[in-house]
Structure 1
Amino acid sequence: MFQNNPLLMKLKKKLNKKNITVEGIVRSTTKKYGFLELDSQKTYFISAKNMKKVMDGDRIIGILNIKNNREMVYPKKLIEPFLKKFVGNIYKINDSIFIQPSYPYMKNVKIRCVCDFNKNTLENGDWVLGKLTQHYLKQKNSFKVKIIEFIVQKTNPLAPWYVILTRYNLEKHPPDIKKINQIYNNNFNKLRKNLTHLDFVTIDNCNTKDIDDAVFVKKTLNNNFSLTIAIADPTEYISNNTELDDIAKQRSFTNYLPGLNIPMLPKILSEDLCSLKQYKIRPVLACRVIIDIKGNILYKDLKFFLAYIQSKEQLSYDNVSNWLEKTGKWNPKNEEIKKTIIFIKKIYEIRSVWRKKNALTFINSPDYRFNLSEKREVLGIFIEHRRVAHKIIEECMITANICAAFFLKKNLGFGLYNTHIGFDIFNATAASNFLRKYNIIFKSHEIMTLKGFCKLHKYLKNLSNKYIYNRICKFQAFGEISLIPQEHFALGLEYYATWTSPIRKYSDIINHRLIKSVLMGLSNIKKPDPKIITHITNRRRCYRIAGKELEKWLYVQFFLKFYKNNQYLQGIITDIFKNGIQVRLIKHGAFVFIPASFMHKLKKELSFNTELGVVYIYNKIYYYVTDIIKVRLLSIKKENNTIIASII
Structure 2
Amino acid sequence: MLYPEHAYLPLLWMLREFMLQNNALLQKLKQNLRDTTPSVEGLVKGTDKSFGFLEVDASTSYFIPPPQMRRVMHGDKVRAYVRTENGRDSVEPFELVAPALERFIARVQKREGKLAVVPDHHAIRTQVSCRIAAEAKCQQADLQEGDWVVARLLSHPLPEKKNFFFGEVVQKIASAEDPFAPWSVILARHQLPHQAPDLQDLPLPSLEELAVGRTDLIHLPFVTIDSASTLDMDDALYIEAKADGGWKLQVAIADPTAYIPYGTPLDQEAQQRCFSLYLPAREIPMLPEALSHDLCSLRAQQVRPALVCQLELNTQGAIEQHTFQLALVQSQAKLAYDQVSDWLENTGSWQPETPELAALLHTLNDFAQARLQWRTHNALVYPDRPDYRFVLDPQGQVTEIKAEYRRQANRLVEEAMIAANQCAASTLAAAQSTGVFNTHTGFAEEQLQQAKTLLVAHGLYDAQMPAETLNTLEGFLQVRRALAQHPQGVWLEQRLRKLQNYAEIRAQADTHLSMGLPAYATWTSPIRKYGDMLNHRLLKQSLGLAESDLVIDEALLAQLNERRRLNAMAERDVRDWLYARYLSQPEQLACKRPAEILDISRGGLRVRLQDIGATAFMPASLIHPNRDEIVANLEEGTLLVQGQVQYRLGDTLEVQLQEVREETRSIIARPFA
For normalisation by structure 2, the TM-score amounts to 0.88
Q: 1:239 aligns with which of 252, 261, 279?
A: 261
Q: Tell me the CA shift for residue 15 of structure 1.
A: 9.9
| 1:516 counterpart SS class | helix
Change (3 A) 1:68 1:358: closer
- Corresponding residue number in structure 2 for 1:462: 485
Q: 2:419 aligns with which of 376, 399, 405?
A: 399
Are residues 1:260 and 2:282 paired?
yes
Give the partner amino acid of 1:391. Answer: R
Change (3 A) 1:135 1:218: same
C-alpha separation in 2, matches of 1:506 and 1:631:
42
C-alpha separation in 1, matches of 2:86 and 2:627:
31
C-alpha separation in 1, matches of 2:377 and 2:86:
72
- Corresponding residue number in structure 2 for 1:509: 533
Percent pairwise identity: 35
Give the partner amino acid of 1:18. Answer: L
For normalisation by structure 1, the TM-score amounts to 0.91
The answer on whether the counterparts of 2:128 and 2:166 sit within 8 Å (CA) in structure 1 is no
Q: Tell me the CA shift for residue 122 of structure 1.
A: 2.5
- Corresponding residue number in structure 1 for 2:360: 340
Q: Tell me the CA shift for residue 138 of structure 1.
A: 3.6
Q: Which runs of 5+ in 1 are unaligned?
A: 1-13
Q: 2:247 aligns with which of 216, 225, 242?
A: 225
1:138-164 Cα deviation digits (max 9, x unpaired): 447343222222222233322111111
The answer on whether the counterparts of 1:570 and 1:587 sit within 8 Å (CA) in structure 2 is yes
- Corresponding residue number in structure 1 for 2:474: 451
Q: Tell me the CA shift for residue 50 of structure 1.
A: 3.9
| 1:151 counterpart SS class | strand
Q: Tell me the CA shift for residue 520 of structure 1.
A: 3.0
The answer on whether the counterparts of 1:572 and 1:585 sit within 8 Å (CA) in structure 2 is yes
Give the partner amino acid of 2:554. Answer: P
Q: 2:154 aligns with which of 125, 133, 139?
A: 133
- Corresponding residue number in structure 2 for 1:58: 76
The answer on whether the counterparts of 2:638 and 2:647 sit within 8 Å (CA) in structure 1 is yes
C-alpha separation in 2, matches of 1:45 and 1:458:
48
| 1:298 counterpart SS class | strand
Are residues 1:276 and 2:298 paired?
yes
Q: 2:194 aligns with which of 172, 180, 192?
A: 172
User: What does 1:499-578 correspond to in 2, within 5 Å?
Assistant: 499-521=523-545, 526-563=550-587, 565=589, 567-578=591-602
C-alpha separation in 1, matches of 2:479 and 2:89:
55
C-alpha separation in 1, matches of 2:64 and 2:302:
68
- Corresponding residue number in structure 1 for 2:223: 201
Q: Tell me the CA shift for residue 386 of structure 1.
A: 0.3
Q: Tell me the CA shift for residue 424 of structure 1.
A: 4.5
| 1:540 counterpart SS class | helix
Q: 2:320 aligns with which of 298, 301, 309?
A: 298
- Corresponding residue number in structure 2 for 1:18: 33
Change (3 A) 1:615 1:241: same
1:253-307 Cα deviation digits (max 9, x unpaired): 11111121111111111111111111111111111111122212122xx221111
Q: Tell me the CA shift for residue 593 of structure 1.
A: 1.3
Change (3 A) 1:408 1:101: same
Q: Tell me the CA shift for residue 228 of structure 1.
A: 0.8
Change (3 A) 1:645 1:488: same
1:491-548 Cα deviation digits (max 9, x unpaired): 2212211000001111101100101122235575655112211111111111112222
- Corresponding residue number in structure 2 for 1:210: 232
Give the partner amino acid of 2:552. Answer: P
- Corresponding residue number in structure 2 for 1:7: none
The answer on whether the counterparts of 2:434 and 2:508 sit within 8 Å (CA) in structure 1 is yes
- Corresponding residue number in structure 2 for 1:3: none
The answer on whether the counterparts of 1:114 and 1:144 sit within 8 Å (CA) in structure 2 is no
The answer on whether the counterparts of 2:494 and 2:598 sit within 8 Å (CA) in structure 1 is no
Q: 2:118 aligns with which of 72, 81, 100?
A: 100
Change (3 A) 1:50 1:371: same
C-alpha separation in 1, matches of 2:583 and 2:575:
12
Pairs aligned (count)? 631
- Corresponding residue number in structure 2 for 1:83: 101
| 2:520 counterpart SS class | coil
| Greater alpha carbon shift after TM alignment, 351-360 vs 382-391 | 351-360
Q: Tell me the CA shift for residue 488 of structure 1.
A: 1.6
The answer on whether the counterparts of 2:74 and 2:100 sit within 8 Å (CA) in structure 1 is yes
- Corresponding residue number in structure 1 for 2:24: none
The answer on whether the counterparts of 1:16 and 1:65 sit within 8 Å (CA) in structure 2 is no
Q: 1:381 aligns with which of 401, 404, 414?
A: 401
C-alpha separation in 2, matches of 1:453 and 1:67:
55
Give the partner amino acid of 2:584. Answer: L
Are residues 1:33 and 2:51 paired?
yes
Q: Tell me the CA shift for residue 403 of structure 1.
A: 0.9
